[in-house]
Structure 1
Amino acid sequence: MTEVIYDNVMMTETVEMDRGERVEMMVDIYESADTVKHHDLRTNTERHQPLQHTGSVSVKNRKHRAAEVCLCLLCILLLTAVMVLCVYFTTERKQLLTHINNLTDERKQIFTKYEQILNHSNNLTAESQQIKNKIDELQRGLYEQDQRADNFKWIYYNFSFYYISSEEKRWNDSRQDCQQRGADLVIINSQEEQEFLQKVVVDDNNYIWIGLRTTEGVWKWIDGTTITNGYWRYQNQYSYRDNCALMTSSGWDDWLCNYHSKKYICKRTILKSLIT
């Protein structure tokens, strides 16, 4: 009996142990199931997460590409603007250089004109001073002429004084007398002067020596110049070795210089440089 009870107890313990094992086994199964379920959930989550990460990377790549495209377009626009500005400034620079060159040329022309005006002004100043000096010389000459004893025998015409002699002398003696009076035999420089002196001579019978004679067969004035305009009475005028010219009311004539005695005209020029 005791054995039976013992056996029953053993069986009960066994059963209880079996129940406990079953319970433990069931707990382990449930725990395993939970573990598997949790593992499956985690696995599913991990499977879904790469898909989301891949989509995010794709969006970022698109944004990066868009930014790169915008940056490239901006660079192209900047490069285009720089090229346009370079062309514009190059053109402006060429125009500015051309304008500067034109201004430089104009400045040179203005400076040249200024120098010309300045030189002309200096020349006018010098001429003005010369005229002033000549006026002073004329005044002195007039004063000296007024002091002469034979003042009333002199005739004034165009900055010169003419002395018409009342006595007759040979040509050489006539010139010597003129030189003693501070003058010389008259040299006729123009048609107007010739006409003036012709009026002084009364008629054709009044022959008057002038400062013209032949030198080696050529008619020359006493200052050595060859005559350019002659006012001869006759077209064919002789040029003997020792001939001198005389004036009449109708033109020039010629005589032997030291053979005949005639009246003479002396000329004393004032402001010679001004009228020649």
Structure 2
Amino acid sequence: MYREDGKSTDNLYENYVIRGKTGKDSTQGKSSEVTGSDSVKIRNYRAAVVCLVLLCVLLLTAVIVLCVTLTQERQQLISKNENLTNEREQLTLKIANLNNDREQLRTELHFCVNWTRYQSSFYYMSKEKKNWTESRRYCTERGADLIIINNREEQDFIHNRSGNGIFYIGLTDSEVEGTWKWVDNTTHVLTSGFWVQGEPNAGQGIVDDDCVVTVAVPPPEWGNLVGWLDVACNKPFQWICEKRISQFILP
């Protein structure tokens, strides 16, 4: 069959069919290519999201670990600082105590310039006179006390150094009449060998003779009264202080 232009209608049909098929197949190919590309993009996007989430988790974990570590180190530094502060305060206190001890030792050594050492004690024999209470105060202000005579040797030592002085010793019955005690509240070595004959006589109506003096060379008005005598505590006499070596504070 022929058209007016002389071309065969059969050829036109074939061309239409072929072209139609060809065009349809081309469109399907392009659609398949587009679908495959989108799938790849989606997979890539999902992988990127997963990586980003993992990175965020790792970063958060690292931040938490760092914070915990810094907190622990901060606490350790605070604790070390407190320990150092305490040690510094203790060292400052020790230095202050050491300085005080040295100062006290220098003071004690200064006081002992005019003191005499015998056995385990230092002795000070005054030249001025005070009553018994004031005499004892003088001794205690220097870390000592009125002498406590423990034995015959110590009594002889004092006796030989007393000259013609009359010295208070640390013996009194001011608390209980007739009960003689040393200044350390002991009652040892109260033997009759140290007392003047007839002493103490406070129990014979002389109730105010509550303190004791030791005499080596008595004044004329005292006759031959050599040894210990009880006297009134308010009378002024010289005195003897004693400080044991163990009482000294060494740096």
- What TM-score bracket applies, with the shorter chain setting the length? 0.5 to 0.7
The alignment partner of 1:155 has SS state of: strand
Aligned residues of 1:155 and 1:162 also touching (Cα < 8 A): yes
Residue identity opposite 1:186 in structure 2: D
Q: 1:103 to 1:185 in 2, by over 3 A?
A: closer
Question: Structure 1: 5+ residue runs without aligned partners?
Answer: 1-28, 146-150, 166-171, 189-193, 216-239
Encode CA deviations 1:152-208: one digit per residue, 9 max, x unaligned.
Answer: xx33788x743479xxxxxx94444455788698279xxxxx8xx6356459xx9x8
- How has the CA–CA distance of structure 1 residues 139 and 177 changed in structure 2, closer, same or farther, with 3 Å as cutoff? closer
The within-5 A match list for 1:144-223 is 145=114, 151=115, 154-155=116-117, 161-163=122-124, 173-177=131-135, 186=145, 198=150, 201-202=154-155, 209-210=169-170
Identical residues among aligned pairs (%): 11
Residue aligning to 1:16: none
Q: Does 1:118 align with 2:88?
A: yes
Deviation per CA, 1:185-244: give whole Å up to 9, x if none: 8279xxxxx8xx6356459xx9x84277666xxxxxxxxxxxxxxxxxxxxxxxx37965
2:7 counterpart residue number: 36
Q: What is the DSSP-based 3-state SS (H/G/I as helix, E as strand, rest coil) of the residue aligned with 1:251?
A: coil
- CA 1:122–1:77: 2 relative to 1, 3 Å: same
1:121 to partner: Cα distance? 2.6
Higher RCO (C-alpha 8 Å, min separation 6): 2
Is 1:106 equivalent to 2:66 in the alignment?
no
Letter in 2 for 1:96: L
Q: Which has the higher helix share?
A: 1
Note the C-alpha offset of 1:64. Answer: 1.4
Distance verdict in 2 for CA 1:71–1:260, change over 3 Å:
closer
Aligned to 2:61: 91
1:20 match? none
Structure 1 distance, partners of 2:187, 2:244, is 25
How far apart are residue 108 of structure 1 and its match?
A: 0.8
Q: Which amino acid aligns with 1:210?
A: G
Alignment CA distance shift 1:265-1:213 (3 Å)? farther
Partner of 1:75 in structure 2? 45
| 3-state secondary structure, aligned to 2:67 | helix
Distance in 1, matches of 2:100 and 2:177, equals 42
What value does the CA root-mean-square deviation take over the aligned residues?
4.6
Cα distance change on mapping 1:44 and 1:113 into 2, 3 Å? same
- The 5 A counterparts of 1:249-260 are 251=188, 258-259=209-210
Asked whether the equivalents of residues 187 and 212 of structure 1 are also in contact (C-alpha less than 8 Å), the reply is no
2:172–2:210 CA contact under 8 A, matched in 1: no
Distance 2:18 2:144 in 1: 143
Letter in 2 for 1:251: H
Q: Are residues 1:266 and 2:226 paired?
A: no
Q: SS of the counterpart of 1:198?
A: coil
**Distance in 2 of aligned mates of 1:92 and 1:98:** 10
Q: Aligned residue for 2:23?
A: 53
What CA distance in whole angstroms lies between the structure 2 residues aligned with 1:65 and 1:31?
44
Q: Is the 8 A contact 2:111 2:142 kept in 1?
A: no
